[in-house]
Amino acid sequence: MDVAVAKEIVKDLLKRKVVTVSGGLILDAIELQQKYKYSFWDSLIIASGIHGGASTILSEDLSDKQEIKGVVIKNPFSALSKR
């Protein structure tokens, strides 16, 4: 890969918000796990989306069209399964 292209890719990635796992995020994930009965790791993904300001999480493993604290879960393959 050309160095200039790599530099532009990194610049683009730096524009994105990074959510780091903190004690508070872990506690939020545990609350989500208890309330929605998802695994801890799925709950951590949802909590990270909430903290990061996401409006949508794409997942084939979570409940399609469920909304949790303003974040909508969408299965990107749901249209394919209806065929």
The C-alpha atoms of residue 29 and residue 6 are separated, in whole angstroms, by 34
Q: Look at residue 57 and tell me if it is in a domain.
A: yes
pLDDT category at 3 given cuts 50, 70, 90 is very high
Range 17-23 average pLDDT: 94
With 70 as the cut, is the pLDDT of residue 60 above it?
yes
Asked if residue 11 is part of any domain, the answer here is no
User: Which pLDDT belongs to residue 81?
Assistant: 62
Residue 70: give the domain boundaries.
Answer: 18-81
- Look at residue 47 and tell me if it is in a domain: yes
Q: Kindly tell me the sign of the dihedral angle through the C-alpha atoms of 13, 67, 70, 79.
A: positive
> What is the pLDDT, as a whole number, of residue 74?
96
What are the start-end ranges of the E strands in the chain? 56-58, 67-68, 71-74
The CA R_g of the chain, rounded to the nearest whole Å, is: 16
Number of DSSP helices (H) and strands (E) in the chain, helices first? 4, 3
Residues in the chain, total? 83
pLDDT mean over 44-65 = 96
Picking from 46, 53, 38, 48, the residue whose alpha carbon sits closest to that of residue 68 is 46
Evaluate whether residue 5 is within a structural domain.
no
Residue 83: what pLDDT? 57
Domain count, the chain: 1
Structural domain includes residue 45:
yes
Q: What is the mean pLDDT of residues 13-42?
A: 96
Residue 35 lies inside a defined structural domain of this protein: yes
